Chain A
Amino acid sequence: MSGYDAIVIGAGHNGLVHAAYLARAGKKVLVLERRPVVGGATITEEIFPGFKFLTGSYLISLLRPEVIRELSLAKHGLELMPLESTLVPLQSGDYFADWPDHDMTREEIARHNRRDADIYPEYAATMKRIALWVKPLLDIAPPNPASNDPRDKMAMAMIAERLRAMSKSDFDLLCRLLTTSAADFLDEWFEGEALKGTKCTSGIIGTFLGPRSAGTGYVLLHHYLGEIDGVFRAWAFPRGGTGAFAQAVYSAARSFGVEVRTNAAVKQVIIKDGVAKGVALENGDEFYARRIISNADAKVTFLNLVDKKELSPDFVNDIRRFRTTSAACKVNLALDGLPTFTSIPKGKEALYRGSIEIAPSIDYVEKAYDDAKYGGWSTRPFMDALIPSLLDPGMAPPGKHVMSLFVQYASSELEGGWNAEKRATFLDIVIDTLSQYSPDIKSKILFKHINTPDELERQFALSSGNIFQGELALHQLFFLKPVPTFAHYKSPIKHLWMCGASTHPGGCITGAPGRNAAMSLLRDFQEESA
């Protein structure tokens, strides 16, 4: 079997985006997915009858506006519902809230600290301004700064030009942000513990770092790069869950002629004379194409799918060192009615519709990290909860609700390894922690489900269960991602490419690695035929 221009391994959202762009340019594309469903970790699953669970990703912010536009995702069913608020229940019984309105937020911050209320708009504007300067870097293939290739030099010049266009004070701040921790950075702006607690979570979400770890300043900025309909820093819930987003991309891809096969696990990339020619499936089928693109993470791709004899030991070592250790878990609850959060006062019930963050202070989050650092888990974890059924009634039967909880930290390198018993124990810790703020939640739980790092690894083929396909740490970003020698979507194997979140700009639902890789690959096709 042959005749394909490209075979994409993995129908995660970046794989589908990538395939759609290639097909849109007239290429014949086959996507092979190991699981029976497309979407990868971008999935909505009805694990308990009638209740739709977000077993992987749960919100959208960084999705590139170009991807929405160029793939006509709105036409293919993408509906985004921006989250309006953030609630942080405090241990004192009080709460902190971030409202969708300037005056409301001001008043709320002032209730906790008046100085913070005055400076907050300046902080938000500064972060957005810096994000605006950095944002174009998301949408380009990283240049090699040490190269003499005119294309690399031009891209480096573009970056230098952007940095020069920043004001001195913004540039200084960007440098500090890249080198400091989220906690130190926030301490420079704010005094209030609750405000800093909720803001620091943007610096650690999805990473195995604490808010006081260096490098989390960048992650904080990374999450400011998101925008929904031009509104920076907005997060949205896709109607039907993130799985519905994957379906929209799938529909777009098919409309361009992409062929997708599910239950088609790739066993190995077929390499002849150092050139990737095709893939062999677990069931023995073989497919051939001019290019093979892996949407799997860098470790899965080069340590599992490629015969290591085809790679240099240096490269294999680099890939082995690619940091993927993870501490993120995903919990879903089927609820027999809406739980009560005791800190939400009457008249402020709108807060149930937004994010509910268990992050009362920086110290709380740092301690949660400390607990997990040496192969353990947090005794009081950080959580980002959402009740999707309040936004989209289709997520649960009438009168019932689902709650999605992003939970940190439980180490992928758990001492003694993970097993069913340990998963259940950690799930109990999560629910016990939650019930401190919502005492009636236990009585409403009809069904509970947890994806710990080992489960995320098993289900979604994510190394160590890392939801970003590799840590968002400075030492493996941009022209260092996933490894310094191959940070431009190519690999040491000729015609074997990468398009997943292991490549720039990394994790979250962005579509950017898939799109950027497609742009580079299409140029490669062009140069070949020229």
Chain B
Amino acid sequence: MRDGMGMLSLKVTPFHPRTSELMQGNAWRRWAGFTVASCYEMAPDREYLAIRNACALIDVSPLFKYRVSGKDSLAFLNRLVTRDLSKLSVGQVAYGPWCDSRGKVVDDGTVMRLDDHEFRLTSAESSWRWLGDNAHGFDVFIADESDETAALSLQGPTSRALLEKLTGVRLSDVKYHWMRSIEIAQRPVLLTRTGYTGDLGYELWIRAEHALDVWDAVVSEGASFGLMPCGIWAMDVARIEAGLVMLDVDYTPSPKAFTANQASSPFELGLGWAVHLHKGDMVGKKALMQDRLKTDGLKLTGLEIDHAAFMSAHEELGLLTPLPFIPWRVVTPLFLDREQVGYATSGTWSPTLKKYIALAQVAARVARAGNKLTIDLMVDRERRPFAAVTTTLPFFNPERKRA
């Protein structure tokens, strides 16, 4: 009976038979209870470059996916999320947060309108209970399709050409945040022009039993488009460049907030643009109306850290500069003079921008672009202050993203 004693196992995604063959450096990590790759090669550098210069294939199956259908599905979802979905056409996708009754963000994700009365919602956390509790009084049917739906994110400048070659369909008329039903390897695939990299890119929603067929077809055709399977580290660099917040990293979802002030309003997370207060009732509306006017809260901002000074500090000590090619996720205090005015939540070297960038939450009064704050960083074995200037987000926003 001692066999296997102590063996605990995480779930694997439908692509695991392929991803596990690619893994070189045993760089696995957890994502929502699944085993996924941090990077496949020994270092993530080439995987990142594929996102910005060719195309990258990322297994995003651990996302939670729900199908919402029924007479009241639009009314139900429109009350749940902060965006106004009444103008969402069939075939269109909307990204945004949803809040609890105190106006604090529960999760963020996409709503896809599959049909008049049929939607798909994706989320970072399991939303089964939240959807169920909010469905009281609505004629809706909610199905959890997380396990039976595999998801691939195909991101980068050559992603469209690759998909066109693969499907023989022109995709330039699939606009940013729209979708199209396609076939890959004779398997039905829902294609959405979405992603988490701020680049031209698509996400493929595939029935789990077809996952390997689609993967194989994409990888085989992708060879001539510079396709690289890509792990979470490279995607993380890209999403910071794109100024996209990550649950559990840049904010604490309200159900997980141990104390009330750990939770965030969408206005604090730079998601105010996705809060449509003019629409009818929605969860948290009252609180959001008040929060919108608040001036004492935090605001999401970008930071450009003075990497020239960071480099000279190292060189003065005769050291090479260890720029973070793998993003850090350590809450790091930010100061104005001697006073802490906020904190950075994730930071990285941006190989595309040649800048040391970070996402931060700072007091609203210093959130305007151009404020010079300081951040303490380690130089060898000492902690040193460096200038960090607040900037607007996104850091990187290529035209091809929406073209």
Decide: A114 and B144 in contact? CB cutoff 8 A: yes
Q: Which bracket fits the contact residues of A?
A: 20 to 34
Decide: B10 and A103 in contact? CB cutoff 8 A: yes
User: Looking at the complex, which of B172-180, B255-263, B264-272, B356-364 is the stretch in contact with chain A?
Assistant: B255-263
Decide: B9 and A347 in contact? CB cutoff 8 A: yes
Decide: A349 and B30 in contact? CB cutoff 8 A: no
Decide: A114 and B129 in contact? CB cutoff 8 A: yes
Interface flag for A115 (CB, 8 Å): yes
Looking at chain A's contact residues, the main secondary structure is helix
CB distance from A181 to the nearest CB of B (A): 24
Interface flag for B4 (CB, 8 Å): yes
**Chain A residues with CB under 8 A of B258:** 125, 128-129
Decide: B255 and A350 in contact? CB cutoff 8 A: no
User: Looking at the complex, which of A73-81, A116-124, A311-319, A482-490 is the stretch in contact with chain B?
Assistant: A116-124
CA A114 to CA B133, docked complex, whole Å = 13
Question: Which of A99, A118, A128 is in CB contact (< 8 Å) with B8?
Answer: A99
**Chain A residues with CB under 8 A of B33:** 103, 106-107
CA A529 to CA B2, docked complex, whole Å = 63
Interface flag for A167 (CB, 8 Å): yes
Question: Which of B6, B126, B130 is in CB contact (< 8 Å) with A350?
Answer: B6
Question: Which of A110, A115, A340 is in CB contact (< 8 Å) with B132?
Answer: A115
Decide: A121 and B255 in contact? CB cutoff 8 A: yes
Decide: B126 and A118 in contact? CB cutoff 8 A: yes
CA A103 to CA B127, docked complex, whole Å = 15
CA A118 to CA B125, docked complex, whole Å = 9
**Chain B residues with CB under 8 A of A352:** 1, 5
Decide: B128 and A350 in contact? CB cutoff 8 A: no
Interface flag for B296 (CB, 8 Å): no
Interface flag for B3 (CB, 8 Å): yes
Interface flag for B368 (CB, 8 Å): no
Look across to chain A and name the residue whose beta carbon is closest to the beta carbon of B32.
A103
Interface flag for A63 (CB, 8 Å): no
Decide: B260 and A118 in contact? CB cutoff 8 A: no
**Chain B residues with CB under 8 A of A125:** 256, 258
With A118-B126, A118-B130 already in contact, the answer to whether A101 and B4 are too (CB < 8 A) is no
Question: Which of B8, B11, B127, B144 is in CB contact (< 8 Å) with A101?
Answer: B8
Decide: A350 and B144 in contact? CB cutoff 8 A: no
CB distance from B154 to the nearest CB of A (A): 27
Interface flag for B353 (CB, 8 Å): no
CB distance from B168 to the nearest CB of A (A): 40
Question: Which of A99, A114, A167, A340 is in CB contact (< 8 Å) with B128?
Answer: A114
CB distance from B335 to the nearest CB of A (A): 28
Look across to chain A and name the residue whose beta carbon is closest to the beta carbon of B30.
A103
CA A338 to CA B2, docked complex, whole Å = 10
Interface flag for B7 (CB, 8 Å): yes
Interface flag for A104 (CB, 8 Å): yes
CB distance from A294 to the nearest CB of B (A): 41
Question: Which of B4, B129, B130 is in CB contact (< 8 Å) with A347?
Answer: B4
**Chain B residues with CB under 8 A of A107:** 11, 33
Residues 6-18 of chain B, each 1 if its beta carbon lies under 8 Å from chain A, else 0:
1111110000000
Look across to chain A and name the residue whose beta carbon is closest to the beta carbon of B11.
A107
Question: Which of A114, A115, A128, A346 is in CB contact (< 8 Å) with B4?
Answer: A346
Residues 90-115 of chain A, each 1 if its beta carbon lies under 8 Å from chain B, else 0:
00000000010101101100100011
- Taking CB atoms and an 8 Å cut-off, the chain B residues in 1-51 that contact chain A are 1-11, 30, 32-33
Question: Which of B5, B32, B127, B259 is in CB contact (< 8 Å) with A349?
Answer: B5
Decide: B129 and A167 in contact? CB cutoff 8 A: no
CA A230 to CA B10, docked complex, whole Å = 26
Decide: A350 and B1 in contact? CB cutoff 8 A: no
Look across to chain A and name the residue whose beta carbon is closest to the beta carbon of B255.
A122
**Chain A residues with CB under 8 A of B6:** 349-350
**Chain B residues with CB under 8 A of A110:** 126
CA A47 to CA B2, docked complex, whole Å = 28
CB distance from A132 to the nearest CB of B (A): 9
Decide: A349 and B4 in contact? CB cutoff 8 A: yes
CA A431 to CA B326, docked complex, whole Å = 57
**Chain A residues with CB under 8 A of B3:** 346, 349
Decide: A115 and B128 in contact? CB cutoff 8 A: yes
CA A349 to CA B2, docked complex, whole Å = 7
Residues 319-360 of chain A, each 1 if its beta carbon lies under 8 Å from chain B, else 0:
000000000000000000010100000111110110000000
Interface pairs A-B: 6 shortest CB-CB: A118-B129, A103-B33, A115-B129, A349-B5, A347-B4, A114-B128
What 20 new A-B contacts, CB under 8 Å, besides A107-B11, A349-B6?
Answer: A99-B8, A103-B30, A114-B129, A114-B144, A118-B126, A118-B129, A118-B130, A121-B255, A121-B256, A129-B258, A167-B259, A167-B260, A338-B1, A348-B4, A349-B4, A350-B5, A350-B8, A352-B1, A352-B5, A353-B5
* Interface positions of A (Cβ within 8 A of B): 99, 101, 103-104, 106-107, 110, 114-115, 117-119, 121-122, 125, 128-129, 167, 338, 340, 346-350, 352-353
A/B interface sample: 6 pairs, CB < 8 A: A106-B33, A117-B128, A118-B130, A119-B129, A338-B1, A340-B1
